[in-house]
Amino acid sequence: MSAGPALAVDNIWQFDPALDKIYKLILNLQTEQAYTELRQLKNVNEYHKLYLQSFLETADMLITEDEKRFDKINEGFKERIDIISKAPETAETLFLKAELNLQRGFNLLNLGQELNAVLAIRQAYQSTQECIKKYPNFIPIKKTYGVIQVMVGSVPDKYQWFMSLLGMKGSVKVGQKHLEELRLSKSSLSQEANILFFTIKGFINQQYGEAAKGFQESLLKEPDSRLLHFLAINMLMKDSQSEEALKLMTSLDSKPQGLSMDYIEYLRAEALMERGDYNLAILSYQKFLKNYKSQSYRKDSYYKIGLSYYISGNLVNAQKNFDIAKKTGKASSDPDKYAAAMLEESVLPNVKILKARFYTDGGYYKEAKEVLKTITPADLPNSKDATEFYYRKGRLSHKTHELSAAKLFYQQTIDMTGTQPWYFAPNAALQLGYISQAQGDLASAKKYYEKALSYKRYEYKNGIDSKAKSALESLKN
C-alpha cells in the first residue's frame, strides 16, 4: 500500500462483499483460507484490506502462540504503521495507527514482552485520543478506544503510577459504553465489538453467566462460528457450567476446518477433571501437551495429570508427573503460577478437598456437597487444610445461592488465613464484596474490595486485584 492518494473517508466502515467474506473467515478462525483470499484481492479499499491483514495475523498469533513466526509478523506490523504514518492524516489513518499498535501490543503481551507491549499500547492510546478529539463522528475508533479504556481501567492500583507516568487513564465503564455503541451500529466492526463486549463482561466484570448467554445467543445466529464456540466454552467453564461446555466442545469437534484450537483440549481436560473423569482428563491433558506450541499451561497440565493419578490412588505416576511439572514450562499464567507454588509444598493436597474443589468449579454441586459431608476434623491435620475446608464450603454455598452461609464461611476463611500467603482470604474478601454489592450494601462492598486489594504476595494476585479494582470502579457509577 502506498502513502497516497488519500481515500474518501468512510465514517462507518462497511466492508464490500469480498472483504466481508474474509472478515467472517477470520472470525471463524479459518485463517489459511483468509490468507489465500486476501492475497488474491484487487481493487478494494486499501485501508479496509490493511486492517483485515493485521487482524488476521493477530487472531492467528493469539490462538497459536507460535513464537517462531512472531518476528516476521512483527516486522510486517512495523512496516504498515510506518506507511500509515507517512500518509495524509485522516480519521482512518489515525484509527489504523491506533489499531495496529494495539494489535501489536496484544501480540507482544501474549509472548511475555511486557515493556515493548506497553510502549506499543501507549502509542495506540495517543493516536486514539487524537482521533476521538479530531474526528468524534468516526465510528470505528470506538473499538480501539473502548478496548484501551477497559485495559487501562482494570490495571491494579499498584501499577497505576506507571499508567500515570505514561499519561494513560482508563475506565472500564467508559470502554464498555463505546463498545456497546459500536456493537449496535451498522459498521462491519460491530461483530468484533459484540465479541469484545461480552468478553469484557465475563473476564473483567466477572459476569460470566451473562457473557455465556450473550455468546450462546450469538451462536444461534452464527451456529458455525468456531470463535463464538471457543468464547462460549470459556465463559461456561468460568460460570461453573462444565457439562454445557463439554457439549459445545463436541459441537466444535464437528467443525475442524480452520486454525487448530489445541487450547480447547486443555479446557476439555479441565472439565473432565471437574466431572471426576480422571482417566479421560489425563488423556486430554496429554493430547494438549503433544500439540500445543506455547510454553503456557504446560506446567499446570503435568501438575493436573499428577493430581488425577493422585486422586485415583496411583502415587507412583502422580509423583512422576509432579517431577516433570517442576522442570517444565514457565510460571507466567495464573494456573502455571499456582501449580509452581503447589509443587513447592512439602505436603500433598487433601484428596477430599481437591474433589470438592473440582466438583464445585464444574457445577457438580450435589457431588461437592456429598464429599464435604464426609470430611471430619481428622481429615484436616494442618491449618491450611482447615482454612481451605471453610473456603470450599463458602464457595459451594455461594454458588448454590445460600448467601447467609456463604458470608459466614467466607469470614471464617479470612479470620483463619491471617497473614498466610494463601489466595483463600483475598478471594473470600472479593466474593463478600460481590455479595454485599448485590444486596445493596455498598459501604461493606467497598470495604471488602479494598481488603482483597490489601493482601500481598500470593497465587492469583494479579487476577484478584484486577477484579477488585474493576468492582471498586463500578461502585463509583
What confidence tens digit (pLDDT) does each residue in 262-277 have?
999 999 999 999 999 9
Domain contains 244? no
* pLDDT at site 159: 67
Residue with cell 522442570: 327
Query: What percent of the chain has a predicted confidence (pLDDT) above 90?
Result: 71
CA pair distance 269, 195, nearest whole angstrom: 25
Question: What is the arithmetic mean of pLDDT over 185-201?
Answer: 93
Per-residue confidence band for 7, with pLDDT thresholds at 50, 70 and 90: very low
Q: pLDDT tens digits for 37-52?
A: 999 998 999 999 999 9
Domain contains 212? no
Residue 384 has pLDDT above 70, yes or no: yes
Domain contains 81? yes
Domain contains 136? yes
Per-residue confidence band for 158, with pLDDT thresholds at 50, 70 and 90: low
- Of the listed ranges 182-191, 204-213, 229-238, the least confidently predicted one is 204-213
Domain contains 201? yes
CATH number at residue 379: 1.25.40.10
Per-residue confidence band for 3, with pLDDT thresholds at 50, 70 and 90: very low
- Of the listed ranges 19-23, 26-30, 178-182, the least confidently predicted one is 26-30
- DSSP code string of 15-33: --HHHHHHHHHHHTT-HHH
* pLDDT at site 5: 39
Domain final residue pick, 170, 187, 205: 205
Question: What is the arithmetic mean of pLDDT over 379-394?
Answer: 96
In whole angstroms, how far apart are CA 264 and each of 111, 251, 389?
A: 19, 12, 30
CA pair distance 64, 177, nearest whole angstrom: 31
Highest mean pLDDT, choosing among 54-63, 64-73, 79-88, 138-147: 138-147
Domain final residue pick, 177, 205, 233: 205
Residues 6+ apart with CB under 8 A from 242: 236, 270, 271, 274, 275, 361, 362, 363, 364
Q: pLDDT tens digits for 300-320?
A: 999 999 999 999 999 999 999
* pLDDT at site 477: 64
Per-residue confidence band for 192, with pLDDT thresholds at 50, 70 and 90: very high
Question: What is the arithmetic mean of pLDDT over 241-270?
Answer: 94
Q: pLDDT tens digits for 67-123?
A: 778 888 888 888 999 999 999 999 999 999 999 999 999 888 877 788 888 899 999
User: What are the residue ranges of helices labelled H in 154-277?
Assistant: 160-165, 172-183, 190-203, 208-221, 226-238, 242-253, 263-275
Per-residue confidence band for 161, with pLDDT thresholds at 50, 70 and 90: low
Question: What is the arithmetic mean of pLDDT over 326-334?
Answer: 87
Domain contains 320? no
Mean of pLDDT over the chain? 92
* pLDDT at site 153: 83
- Domain count for the chain, please give it: 2
Residues 446 and 469 sit within 8 Å (Cβ to Cβ): no
Residues 304 and 283 sit within 8 Å (Cβ to Cβ): no
Q: Pick left, alpha or beta for residue 245 (phi over 0 → left; psi -120 to 50 → alpha; otherwise beta).
A: alpha
Domain contains 408? yes
Domain final residue pick, 205, 228, 245: 205
Regarding predicted confidence, which is higher, 395 or 59? 395
pTM of the entire predicted model: 0.83
Domain that holds residue 68: 17-205
Residue 361: CB atoms within 10 A of its CB come to 19
Domain contains 351? no
Residue 475 has pLDDT above 90, yes or no: no
